[in-house]
Structure 1
Amino acid sequence: MFIDFEGIDGSGKTTLSNALADRLEGRGLKVTHARAGGELRSALARRVRPLTRDAQLLEMSARAEFFLNLAREAQQIDEVVRPALARGDICITDRSLYSQIALSAGGRGLEERPLRAAAELAGQGLWPDLVLLIDVDPDLARMRKRASKIRDGIVEEESGRKGLSGHGLLVRVRTQFLRMAAAEPERFVVVRNEGRALAMVVDEIVDVVTARLSGRPTRMDAAQPPPAAPAPVRDLEQACFAAIDELARREPWVAVHLLTGIPGRAAHARRMQHAQAWPRNVAASLAELRDPPSFELRAVLAPVAPAEVAASLRSDPGEPAMVLRGLLFERAPAPVLAGLSRNASAEAWALREQALERGWLERVLPGLAGLEGERAWNARERGIRAGLHGPVARSLSGLGGERADAMREALFPVARLEVLASTRGLNTPFAQRAREELAPVAPKPVLRSLEGIGAAYADALRVQLAQLTKEALDSVEGSDADLAWSLRERYLPVWPAAAVMSLRGLALQPRAQRLISLAVSSFPGSLAVLRAAYFVVARAMQAQARPAAPEAAAGPELRLGA
């Protein structure tokens, strides 16, 4: 029997497919998992995979990407799946041909019929007997993926090819999967992987597989959203933390991730509750928090989660942050040095000089962002001579002027994405040319670079890309411009969490309160929307309360009228 797990990134395919393999083997059945632990069994397929993920290959067309992905799956089928079935094993795959159709048809917009014909050829007619489509809300999937990487101590990779297209790609791929499931109910079973314990999901999957093995029919479960919370939500604080606490019973590391950047006593109490079990996630959740209790917690977590503690400081130049960086330098030099952006203090340069003496130029360069001065420029020139083009480009972040743009021009052919990222918030002729050139192939980083830019061409890019991905709304965060409000209100039904989150930095005027209330009441089952609403309100109230005693950081109860 050939069983294929499908679903978007972060849906839980790998965890569930491994759990099924373990359960079946525990019953004495012979099982081959073609991608146990997330690693392809075929060595040749593993060599093809990096090509399909390399974000620097911007010229790769959607068709070329499809055929490379198809080549990988064809090799897996020929080398692993078909022999396993010939031996009489149950063969489990974590993605197969359907994933490539979903990505290329749903995500990239290619016509589905010829893709299916090509997939038929690649598999030589071998399709799964059972497809378990693990379905999950894309916002939750994204949060799960990030939280799991932090939990496992995985340093965040540069965005892969799929990441260049933004969150909208994930949404379109999910829609395509559900279409295919509806078209082939005899083959697909949709399993909802949210709102319940992992063990319950595994039990359901085992029951489905057992029924198929015994010849009993199985039905496709409709992908229903989780039960709706009462709407309208009048007490955001109570509702948000109730939802986070419920999630913590099943996926505590994800619940902790949702606390990231949220100020106040209630959030801090929950961090303390989970600090021993999930220290990396708790440390990462302290990002942007500068109150004394947060620094005290960082000090406690530093011995067990040094990299995450250092990264949580961001570019805070304050004395407590610099003291902590000095203590963490030996154990987590990369995030310590990266956090020195825009910091020309003697203490910052002392850390840089220590790193340079050890030959850590590559680690020093990103932390030179925003710095002029000959020491910084000399380090950049050394980086170019050493071939460190990406780190040098990142070191130009926040720098305008002829010298910076001349270096960007020189680096652009070999480090386009890093150069683009360095233009964030800059409105220069070079930045405009780079954005307009890369927008068709890398909309997400282009939109990210538009932060704070209100030029006509920037607004035109936002309008053009808003229907495709939420990052168009991210790019108007904190903006009170007419276009920003137009995008929020028009695309709230499509990107509700992003529309709410883009209010960050704005005062809670009636128009903002109405938009938040509409989002929360229109999407009562969305934890992402509820979390965004509470985050925006909590940060706005914190800003209004400054200066205040540390004890006041939690603020009063947060209520928002319907």
Structure 2
Amino acid sequence: MLIVFEGIDGSGKTTLSNRVARELRRAGLRVRHVREDGKLASPVSEGLRRFTRNPLHLALTPMAELLLYSARETQLLEEVTRPALAEYEVVIADRFLYTAEVLARWGRGLPEHEVRPILDACSRGLQPDRVFLIDVDPAIARARRRISKLLTPPQGTPSRKGLAGVGLQSRLRAGYRALAAESPRRWCLIENSDVPLDALVALLVQEVLRLKNGESSASPPVRSRPVAPIRSLTEARVRFLARLDGWMKQEPQLAAWFLAGLEGPDIAERRRLLAGPCPELIAHGLSGLTDAEAWSLRGQLEEAAPVQVLGSLKDLAADTPEAWELRERWETRKHEAVADSLDGLDSERAWKMRERLYFSAAEHVVSSLARLGGERAWEERWRWLSDMGGEPALGLERVARIACRAIRGVDDAQAWDWRERAFEAAPDAVLRTLQGLDSERAWEMRERHVARAPRAVLGTLDGLDVPRAWALRESFGVQCEEALDSFVGMEGATAWKLRTALADTWPAATVKNLGPLATTSRGQALIERLLENHPQDFALLRQAARAASDTTQERRDASA
């Protein structure tokens, strides 16, 4: 019997499939998991997986990608899955050929008549006895992935698939749900948002045991209750906090993550409760905050989570007396994190600290030079590159990625020379260096590569209010949420036209995009309309909760 778990990245399918395999073994069944603990049992398939993930292969076309994904799954089927079906009572797969189909059709836009024959040839008639679609709001899935990366920083390069942006996960989710609707007797949709993990594992184990005993009826999917409309920002904040309170018991890391960047007494109370069990996540969520409560928490958490506390010294919090005192306390103990916290700072105090840190954290010191032009910054960059072996070292991926962090937002001739030398080794990192640049060379590079890496390219448009930037944002229609992230708080007819056009596709990003406009009558009217139309969207609730806090503070300031 073949059991397949499918779903978007961060849905929880890997965790659930492994737990179910263990529970079935405890029940006395012979079980083979062909991707135990997230690693494919076929070395060939694992190698193909690493290849397709590598952002070095930026130019990989949708059809070539489909063939590689199909090859990965076919090799696993022939080498491991089919033999296991002859030997074991239950074979479990974390992903199947459905992954290739959903990515090709819904993710990349290939037509069904081109995709299906390829996958049918690969499967050679083999179909799962049951497919569990682990379904989750993409915002929650994304949070779980980011939590994992924060607590256990990944080694190696970022995923190539991530270059497509947040919109890809939403399209993939829609694709999985469409396949499930086509074959309801084979697929079982399981929502993994507010249901305890142990309850989900028990439900899935019972369903497998029913199938094993010849009972064909699928257990009913776990679904959320209908959601009532929301009529005001205050009501949205109340509902957001109620959802958080549920997670504080069931999934405290998720609750801690979603507190990031929020302010107010109700938020501070929950931060204090989660500071003990989740110190790294609470510290990370203080990024940029400068109120007294934030500084008090930094002091409380710095011994338990010094890297995340230092990492929170961004934006308004970066160049304050409290920030410098914190850096100086940790300078000899956490060299790299202290150096990272100097990102973009151009004061004499920052330069003196870089000099002291250079020999213990050179890579992090040079990475902190983002957005800094001028002779002093280039002397430091060339000093580091000389230590790495000179200009030829820019052809090495690790060196190229560090160099790209060092020249982000720099538009002089030396920076462009480094970009050209680094592109072959780290093309995605080079694209990210274009942040805020408005030169002809920057636009040519963006326009040449935006189709392959829209997230990386759109992320460089932050704050650019020029016709070329608006044309690029508009060219993606509703495909990319990142277009909204690049013009936060901008007024004007073009900004409002695009904001309104994308609002119902990306309601949460639209509210975030309002920035200070969220306190205006036009901004509030838009938020209230979105809340009424999308009451089930948790990310929207969170952004509305932030807007409610901003509005309350503005009223207090006005009455003072």
Q: TM-score, normalised by structure 2?
A: 0.91
CA contact (8 A) 1:466 1:472 kept: no
Change (3 A) 1:211 1:40: same
SS state at 1:457 partner: helix
1:396 has 2:407 as partner: yes
| Distance in 2 between residues matched to 1:543 and 1:155, nearest whole Å | 41
| Distance in 2 between residues matched to 1:225 and 1:487, nearest whole Å | 32
1:87 maps to 87
| Distance in 1 between residues matched to 2:328 and 2:115, nearest whole Å | 55
2:202 maps to 203
| Distance in 2 between residues matched to 1:329 and 1:541, nearest whole Å | 39
SS state at 2:517 partner: coil
2:296 maps to 296
SS state at 2:293 partner: helix
1:26 maps to 26
Report the more deviating stretch, 435-444 or 137-146.
137-146
CA contact (8 A) 1:247 1:254 kept: yes
CA contact (8 A) 2:229 2:531 kept: no
| Distance in 2 between residues matched to 1:391 and 1:312, nearest whole Å | 21
2:540 maps to 529
Shift of residue 309 of structure 1? 1.6
| Distance in 1 between residues matched to 2:156 and 2:526, nearest whole Å | 34
CA contact (8 A) 2:58 2:428 kept: no
| Distance in 2 between residues matched to 1:14 and 1:415, nearest whole Å | 29
Shift of residue 491 of structure 1? 1.7
| Distance in 1 between residues matched to 2:555 and 2:346, nearest whole Å | 30
SS state at 1:60 partner: coil
1:194 maps to 193
Report the more deviating stretch, 269-278 or 425-434.
425-434
Change (3 A) 1:471 1:221: farther
SS state at 1:249 partner: helix
CA contact (8 A) 1:504 1:539 kept: no
| Distance in 2 between residues matched to 1:334 and 1:505, nearest whole Å | 34
Shift of residue 344 of structure 1? 2.6
Shift of residue 302 of structure 1? 1.9
Report the more deviating stretch, 195-204 or 461-470.
195-204
SS state at 2:55 partner: coil
1:499 maps to 510
| Distance in 1 between residues matched to 2:426 and 2:28, nearest whole Å | 52
Change (3 A) 1:415 1:544: farther
Which residue type is aligned with residue 461 of structure 1?
L
Change (3 A) 1:220 1:174: farther
Which residue type is aligned with residue 36 of structure 1?
E
SS state at 1:432 partner: helix
Report the structure, 1 or 2, having the larger helix content.
2
Which residue of the other structure, out of 440, 446, 462, is the alignment partner of 2:457? 446
CA contact (8 A) 1:185 1:220 kept: no
| Distance in 2 between residues matched to 1:215 and 1:441, nearest whole Å | 47
1:104 maps to 104
Change (3 A) 1:155 1:287: farther
Report the more deviating stretch, 197-206 or 467-476.
197-206
CA contact (8 A) 1:153 1:280 kept: no
2:341 maps to 339
Superposition pairs for residues 268-417 of structure 1, below 5 Å?
268-314=268-314, 316-358=318-360, 360-384=361-385, 385=390, 386-387=393-394, 388-417=399-428
Which residue type is aligned with residue 402 of structure 2?
P
Shift of residue 247 of structure 1? 2.7
SS state at 1:210 partner: helix
2:173 maps to 174
Change (3 A) 1:106 1:278: same
Change (3 A) 1:147 1:229: farther
Which residue type is aligned with residue 65 of structure 2?
E
| Distance in 1 between residues matched to 2:156 and 2:241, nearest whole Å | 30
SS state at 2:92 partner: strand
| Distance in 1 between residues matched to 2:286 and 2:157, nearest whole Å | 22
Change (3 A) 1:362 1:229: same
1:559 maps to none
| Distance in 1 between residues matched to 2:232 and 2:26, nearest whole Å | 46
The share of aligned pairs that are identical, in percent, is 36
Task: Name structure 1 gaps, 5 residues minimum.
Answer: 553-562
Shift of residue 122 of structure 1? 2.7
Which residue type is aligned with residue 47 of structure 1?
G
1:227 maps to 226
Change (3 A) 1:298 1:157: farther
Shift of residue 78 of structure 1? 2.4
Change (3 A) 1:496 1:159: farther
Which residue type is aligned with residue 133 of structure 1?
L
| Distance in 2 between residues matched to 1:158 and 1:522, nearest whole Å | 39
| Distance in 2 between residues matched to 1:279 and 1:250, nearest whole Å | 17
Which residue type is aligned with residue 535 of structure 1?
R
1:154 has 2:156 as partner: no
Change (3 A) 1:228 1:428: same
